[in-house]
A and B are shown apart, each in its own frame.
Chain A
């Protein structure tokens, strides 16, 4: 047994155990905390399979954003309210049997076909110099398959808009005014965030990083500000908010249409590709951050229905 195999075995078995532990928790609060630990370990294990970009994203989104969303909604659902009992025993046994069979079949298939990798690695690296990015993953999501990413930004925007349809007619319970320590923390963290987020966007062109990681970080700042003394106005009625929610999508679409003159939708000439990618990434990072912040506010029940119409 090589040391690598030992590490991989330990990591993957702990992941499996943590997943089980998460599902065995009796209250929502405990389940969320276990899920966040699971997310951290998952991010760690992705470093072992040569996916540093994804590891960074998972660390920011798994325990970070998803954890924050889950915790925020617990405020309305109840931290310690125990889960109701699951379905009857025969049904549970049938479900276990079904999932077990699927699991065995899939595991067998994976072991069978593990030695025959197929993929586009070579092609992706071969075109990397023309793609305007030195990071192959940025090249995939913003150049080779930019059309997918355009629609994906749309998914995020539409999810944030859908959250607005849930705004309650009355404002949710007032948030406790922040204490002095929190205010100091916010004052110290804000410049740090404002420094790290653009760096994250820029570094995405060369090394692990990019719009999603930066956006997730930005949403961290957004949530802190919402908790702070001067919460940031997130009513849909505000034109500026609507514009910044959609900014990433708008610029992405404008660039896509603008590049029609070079040929197809989203076809950048190699010399200008890095410029266009940076424009898209920075605007998307802003919009991703704001969309995620809005979702957090929606989960926490801080969105209220507007009294006046739209001007």
Chain B
């Protein structure tokens, strides 16, 4: 017997933790945050168990059900994304406890706000993964965006403030455009529920315009090229745990929402030109992000431009689906694995970069020479994450890219396959630059060894980072498990041959 409120648990518990973190009189740090994040992560296990036993679960907060109320729906893909958010949530939480050591009095108030904002982000992301309601997606998305702006601002620098200003404007406009799209779809169909909308799939001008507007809004939110200008600045200037959340989790959610809307049925309304336009923007993002990452001199900037590039990969899936691919389920799983593995790897990479920054006092590549000797742990985490970012075997990123390249070739879109390979080469190039600097021994003992406040212990930061990095490699050994979860109630028809 599944309790009827089971699916609200992954939203309600992080929200409760956020409110406790905000209002409790005692400093809610250390052990308490660790406990809270662990508890939030553990709540998804009953959901997964129920999914494996009973198949997809459908629940109605408010008790009305669609079309009047809101439906939550747990299927294989959303379960994988819940696990992804939980891994990143616990990882970032444990890392941040070690990272935010009491500093100057001025920064303490801002650091205090990290906890509620981070828990709220987690709750809203879980809500996005579970909801089926177009308007609920809007509200949850705004919650993620505004919390994201607050998280960027914890850095307090003028660069971060400027980036947050740009982000806030873009996200406000994107939300309004998305909302207009939702309104048009509702007025054409009298429905906001993605599953009920499947009964209204014959093309109509209102519906088509609505889908186009929703897509446009979500593209801006995903920071897809050419809407990415705020991203590198914001992600590189924010404190490391914030970068890990933003680059790992937040950027991914807009893609997940767009694919949810398209693949649950509405995608058939999209004309071929829209598919191709998404493919073109994705390709441009891959190359542009990769080329700019090559030119950066700071480690965190390189990682942030790499996010611009990796987001591009995800959107290629829309270009690959407009023709009949022989194996749509493979292509779709490839995109899901790519999204998840990039999120985990990028989170781990930013955490490692944060450790390096704390210990070396900088993230300038030229000053990080020989850091591999002084911080072998951080560099090892970065190396494991890089395997995934480059798409080398045996990482989950490799599986995702491989399946995407295969379907690009099968559908006769060789150009996209070339771009996918080129993007891989570019990421190899910019990451090798990083390791070239980290591994090269320092020439002279320069005067950089000035007095710095004692850096926090590395272990508390490196363990969660390593866990996330390894999480991108381990599933490859038993890929049948995520494959099996993904196939439960998958919106994409399963291929007949394995």
Contacts and interface: CB of A to CB of B under 8 A. Distances in A.
Nearest to A237: B109
B19 interface: yes
A280 to B, nearest CB: 13
B22 A161 contact: yes
Interface string A108-142: 11101100011110011001000000000000000
A266 B146 CA distance: 25
B64 interface: yes
Interface residues of A, number: 59
A8 interface: no
Nearest to A106: B209
A158 B4 contact: no
Interface in B126-160: 127, 133, 135-136, 139-140, 142-143, 146-147, 149-150, 153-154, 156
B473 to A, nearest CB: 35
A120 B123 CA distance: 29
Contacts of B184: 109
Contacts of B143: 151, 154-155, 158
A110 B183 CA distance: 12
B108 interface: yes
A243 B62 contact: no
Contacts of A123: 67-68
Interface in B210-239: none
Interface in B184-218: 184, 186-190, 204-206, 209
Interface residues of B, number: 61
Interface stretch (A11-19, A26-34, A253-261): A253-261
Interface string A211-240: 000000000000000000000000011010
Interface string B5-22: 100100010011001001
A309 B112 CA distance: 9
What is the predominant secondary structure among interface residues of chain B facing chain A? helix
Contacts of B67: 120, 123
Contacts of A260: 3, 5
A165 B188 contact: no
B426 interface: no
A29 to B, nearest CB: 21
A236 B139 contact: no
A203 interface: no
Contacts of A106: 209
Given A119-B190, A147-B62, A266-B62, A250 B23 contact: yes
B69 interface: yes
Given A158-B146, A165-B153, A113 B25 contact: no
Given A158-B120, A161-B22, A167 B109 contact: yes
Contacts of A262: 63
Contacts of B110: 165
Contact of A242 (B4, B23, B123, B136): B23
Nearest to A154: B143
Nearest to B147: A158
Contacts of A145: 62, 69-70, 135-136
Nearest to B69: A144
A260 B59 CA distance: 12
B76 interface: no
Contacts of A159: 146, 150
Given A112-B205, A113-B188, A256 B12 contact: yes
Contacts of A265: 5, 8, 12, 61-62
A308 B124 CA distance: 31
Contacts of B209: 105-106, 109
B183 to A, nearest CB: 11
A22 interface: no
Contacts of B113: 161-162, 164-165, 236
Contacts of B12: 253, 256-257, 265
A136 to B, nearest CB: 11
B201 to A, nearest CB: 15
B108 A155 contact: no
Contacts of A152: 139
Contacts of B27: 309-310
A302 interface: no
Interface string A151-192: 110110011011011110100000000000000000000000
B206 A266 contact: no
Nearest to B145: A155
A177 B19 CA distance: 36
Contacts of B120: 154, 158
Interface in A67-126: 105-106, 108-110, 112-113, 117-120, 123-124
A169 B106 CA distance: 7
B110 to A, nearest CB: 5
Given A162-B153, A253-B19, A263-B4, A147 B61 contact: yes
B335 interface: no
A112 to B, nearest CB: 6
B63 A162 contact: no
Given A154-B143, A236-B109, A120 B68 contact: yes
A123 B190 CA distance: 11
Given A106-B209, A113-B204, A164 B109 contact: yes
A267 interface: yes
A264 B61 CA distance: 5
Nearest to A236: B109
- Among B61, B149, B156: residue with most chain A CB under 10 A: B61
Q: Which 8 A-B pairs have the closest CB atoms?
A: A162-B150, A267-B63, A118-B190, A265-B8, A265-B61, A165-B153, A109-B205, A147-B61
21 contacts: A113-B187, A113-B204, A118-B188, A120-B190, A144-B68, A145-B70, A146-B61, A147-B70, A148-B136, A151-B127, A151-B140, A154-B124, A158-B117, A161-B116, A165-B109, A169-B106, A239-B23, A263-B5, A264-B4, A265-B5, A265-B62
Interface of B: 3-5, 8, 12, 15-16, 19, 22-23, 25, 27, 59-64, 67-70, 102, 105-106, 108-110, 112-113, 116-117, 120, 123-124, 127, 133, 135-136, 139-140, 142-143, 146-147, 149-150, 153-154, 156, 161, 184, 186-190, 204-206, 209
